[in-house]
Chains A and B, each alone.
Chain A
């Protein structure tokens, strides 16, 4: 008995075991979680409402749209959720992929329109092909000259990029834009598609068919595009960037045979939209006047809210992302490779590496506004680059996301099983050969996921752009990396200073929805890659 009294702090001896308290605690925790989520999602609903103004439509329009689009879609979702979750997954991707690839098509179009012209692209491509050929030939002719090859690998592409583009651009006769695009963009894409299909199927003929289909589909634009009412140029981009991935996905689902009914979901949605447009037209119901429409995406910023558009900031964001992809990603992945594969664990060097790792962790926590100051001092004042240019913006935000890129790439690389490295060493491969041929391909999906998420972070950064002097309003889309540029969040910040309610609750909401849609699709793509990768393991 005495011992019982000494151990009076046993769980549950203090009072009767109470279920109420545990349940209350669980409910409290759940409701706290939901409070955070719901409060933000309610606010975002308000934003969407402001951007699309659904209540400005006729009652009849709303009823027809609900009947043709919302009800069938909800019915389909209900069916997938209860009966066939695999098809639900397919449905999500089948709806998201076309939207995402359309967005990518827009990005590619903007790139060709404002960043590199088709002819510049062609000349770069030709010089790279020539350089690659020379390097390859050198490796075949002089198999033993490893040192010499190092020089060749660095020097030949540099020289080729230096001389050949000017040579091609100064040619007196160049083919039309569309023909050039066919040769310099569609053909490489078709080759990549062919190689991809061949590797997936391990079948040469299927690969060839896929490549030829891509090429023919794109070339058909010369005949079909004018009938549809678009230029052959846009047609080719639509075929190569939108239609090809979508049809590859559809084909893979049909071949897999599981969740095929999910493919019907986008058809239900699109069919519903078409039916709604036809019906409301026939019945004479007026639709809403949304702030976020085609005009908003293609106009330039303006003092009057009705004309205000988002096009120059969109172009600016695309340019900034291009710079980041070229500059920050290779450096970040390289640093991660060093830290995971090469870095010594012990000794003086080991301590240096520890320092680098701690430093990277801390850099990830440095406020973004400080990176802006760094970019201002490093690139504008010391480097002599123009203030507020896309180049400086890309470099500055690139530095900001560098720690994120490194940390996520490190995680992906360290997840590669050691046995694969051992196997590669066992076959006599050197460290670099192992890294390049075994570790990097295996870690690539994880690295891609991290990099896309980092891009999502980059596209929303505003404070560094303010500090490096990105102008408040850019009326003409920048045409080169050394022009002043504005990015989507920068423009949103400018609009937030307008007091007019039409700006606050209309234009601003439309800009925010555009930014969020881009982000959501990027994050969705990243999660998709991650899931596919995890399942394979």
Chain B
């Protein structure tokens, strides 16, 4: 038996084996190519139904309107109330996440002892692993009453607690990506700083942060794109009532409810709007806008990270 198989192995043609190799290669390639198909179908499906929406509502009215009333039989679809709510969320969450995230990254990369790091890093990872529906619940049931208790006159649904929670949610993203950037700054730069008589503080702020600035900025962009696309926290804590930005009293916008774009999409599909109605189709127009914004931001993050990267040997 074994003798025969040795004989055969040496003399037989390898065409079968070559075909087999090719089949596996193309099978694996198909898996990889599926991701392109996913992107393409996101664009196609969103665009197809967004076009149907724009046949009912003109794009000009959609992108310049300042009133959003979605009823099951139609309504007024001006996107700005939703966009301003999204911008408020993004801005306030950045105010929360950027300083804390960068400070955490500096601490982890420059100051923390090994033991401290082995506690803090997994804790931050756990923070990143908490589902957004849980953050939404925390904002709605605990943070909002806490804000009311300390005397901030927020309503039951409000943008303030939603955006603070979104900020907390994206802290781990900022801190871990920024820390990666800071850790990849070569030690020789730090040694040079110390050699010139710099203190640890001066090395951290004067050498490490400037050297890692491209990575830090790209982490901001990624985290903000995450904040823009965040759904459950804002749906649960910010409410579902769209309100135009109140220029007369900007702070009032934070204290009252609002409907960001993602919440608008959820509202369109969970309300009793029927399949072909403008309210239902508005979901696709919003989705397309959201997709384009986040896609551009992700590309920008890549670009910033690679374009302004300091090259070290």
Interface residues of A (CB under 8 A from B): 10-12, 17-19, 21-22, 25-26, 28-30, 32-33, 35-37, 39-40, 43-44, 46-47, 143-147, 149-150, 330-332, 334-335, 337-339, 341-343, 353, 355-356, 358-363, 365-371, 373-374, 376-378, 382, 399, 402-403, 406, 430-432, 435, 453, 456-457, 459-463, 466-467, 469, 489, 492-493, 496, 504-505, 508, 512, 515-516, 519-520, 523, 527
Decide yes or no: A516 and B204 within 8 Å by CB, A147-B16, A361-B298, A403-B35 being known contacts: no
Decide yes or no: A355 and B36 within 8 Å by CB, A144-B12, A361-B302, A489-B131 being known contacts: yes
The complex places the Cα of A467 from the Cα of B266 at a distance, in Å, of 6
Decide yes or no: A367 and B141 within 8 Å by CB, A378-B41, A431-B21, A519-B129 being known contacts: no
A520 nearest in chain B by CB position = B126
A337 touches B28 (CB 8 A): yes
B231 touches A369 (CB 8 A): yes
What distance in Å separates the Cβ of B274 from its nearest Cβ neighbour in chain A?
Answer: 13
**In the complex, what residues of A have CB within 8 A of residue B252's CB?**
none
B38 touches A399 (CB 8 A): yes
The 11 listed contacts between A and B (C-beta, < 8 Å) are: A22-B200, A29-B103, A40-B127, A339-B32, A356-B33, A367-B229, A367-B230, A402-B34, A461-B131, A466-B235, A512-B134
B48 nearest in chain A by CB position = A377
A29 touches B104 (CB 8 A): yes
Q: Is B162 an interface residue (CB 8 A)?
A: no
The complex places the Cα of A520 from the Cα of B306 at a distance, in Å, of 35
B287 touches A369 (CB 8 A): yes
**In the complex, what residues of A have CB within 8 A of residue B294's CB?**
365-367, 370
User: How many residues in B have their beta carbons less than 8 Å from beta carbons of A?
Assistant: 98
B201 partner, pick from A21, A366, A466, beta carbons under 8 A: A21
Query: From residue 243 to 292 of chain B, which have CB atoms closer than 8 A to chain A?
Result: 262, 265-266, 269-270, 283-284, 287, 290-291
Q: Is B313 an interface residue (CB 8 A)?
A: no
Q: Is B51 an interface residue (CB 8 A)?
A: no
What distance in Å separates the Cβ of A141 from its nearest Cβ neighbour in chain B?
Answer: 12
The complex places the Cα of A508 from the Cα of B140 at a distance, in Å, of 12
What distance in Å separates the Cβ of A508 from its nearest Cβ neighbour in chain B?
Answer: 6
**In the complex, what residues of A have CB within 8 A of residue B103's CB?**
28-29, 32-33
B106 nearest in chain A by CB position = A29
Report B1-42 CB contacts with A as 1/0, cut-off 8 Å: 000010010001001110111011101111111111011011
**In the complex, what residues of B have CB within 8 A of residue A32's CB?**
99-100, 103-104, 107
Decide yes or no: A17 and B137 within 8 Å by CB, A29-B103, A145-B16 being known contacts: no
B232 touches A463 (CB 8 A): yes
B131 touches A335 (CB 8 A): no
**In the complex, what residues of B have CB within 8 A of residue A145's CB?**
16
Q: Which of B67-75, B76-84, B116-124 contacts A (4 or more CB under 8 A)?
A: B116-124
A144 touches B8 (CB 8 A): yes
Looking at A18, A370, A371, which has the most chain B CB atoms within 10 Å of its CB? A370
The complex places the Cα of A343 from the Cα of B5 at a distance, in Å, of 33
B107 touches A30 (CB 8 A): yes
**In the complex, what residues of B have CB within 8 A of residue A39's CB?**
168
Decide yes or no: A374 and B38 within 8 Å by CB, A26-B107, A342-B29 being known contacts: yes
A40 touches B199 (CB 8 A): no
**In the complex, what residues of A have CB within 8 A of residue B168's CB?**
36, 39-40
B196 nearest in chain A by CB position = A11
A376 nearest in chain B by CB position = B269
B109 nearest in chain A by CB position = A29
What distance in Å separates the Cβ of A326 from its nearest Cβ neighbour in chain B?
Answer: 14
A46 touches B140 (CB 8 A): no
B197 touches A12 (CB 8 A): yes
**In the complex, what residues of A have CB within 8 A of residue B310's CB?**
none
Q: Which of B58-66, B147-155, B220-228 contacts A (4 or more CB under 8 A)?
A: B220-228
**In the complex, what residues of A have CB within 8 A of residue B107's CB?**
26, 29-30, 32-33
A40 touches B16 (CB 8 A): no
The complex places the Cα of A462 from the Cα of B233 at a distance, in Å, of 10
Closest 10 CB pairs of A and B: A460-B131, A367-B229, A146-B16, A334-B31, A377-B45, A32-B103, A29-B107, A338-B28, A22-B201, A11-B198
**In the complex, what residues of A have CB within 8 A of residue B308's CB?**
none
Q: Is B108 an interface residue (CB 8 A)?
A: yes
B228 partner, pick from A339, A367, A374, beta carbons under 8 A: A367
The complex places the Cα of A402 from the Cα of B35 at a distance, in Å, of 8
What distance in Å separates the Cβ of A277 from its nearest Cβ neighbour in chain B?
Answer: 31
The complex places the Cα of A341 from the Cα of B24 at a distance, in Å, of 12
